[in-house]
Amino acid sequence: MFSIQQLSIVLIGGGLGSVCRYIATTLIGSIGGTVFPFGTLFVNFTGSFLMGFLMFFFLDEHFTLPETLRLFLAVGFLGGFTTFSSFSMESILLLRGDSFFYAFANMAGNLLLGLLAVWLGIQAAGRLA
């Protein structure tokens, strides 16, 4: 199912993406302040743009990139940089396939369940403290 080489490629890409996310959010936060999460907004926008740019070549077969490069860039690097890019790409693919119900269910589900999960995590941690 998964080879050690594939997992290693995703691991390295994900590590680099996470480091880049940390650097970007820290730098943007130091410039824009902490009243609004400008760094996260920047990372989500940039990661989503890069995902759309890369996947254009993969999905519409305008250009063929090796599978190892797709794993490194799209799954690893952008996955470590921001999972929002994957969420955005999946939502667009559903919309392009005329699966409007599933697209909006995906968007609403990720937003609402994500907020619920954070709230539940806070509640659980509060009970332990």
Q: What is the pLDDT of residues 68-108, one digit of tens each?
A: 998 999 899 999 998 888 889 889 999 999 999 999 999 99
| Residue-range domain boundaries for the chain | 4-82
Residue 10: Cβ within 10 Å count: 19
The pLDDT of residue 52 is 85
Q: Which of 82, 83, 90, 53 is nearest to 70 (CA)?
A: 53
* Cα–Cα distance for residue pair 79/84, rounded to 1 Å: 8
Q: In a 3-state reduction of DSSP, which class is residue 61?
A: coil
Q: pLDDT tens-digit profile of 3-47? A: 999 999 999 999 999 999 999 999 999 998 878 889 888 999 999
* Maximum pairwise Cα distance, the chain: 54
d(CA 3, CA 19): 24
Give the integer Cα–Cα distance in Å for 30 and 38: 10
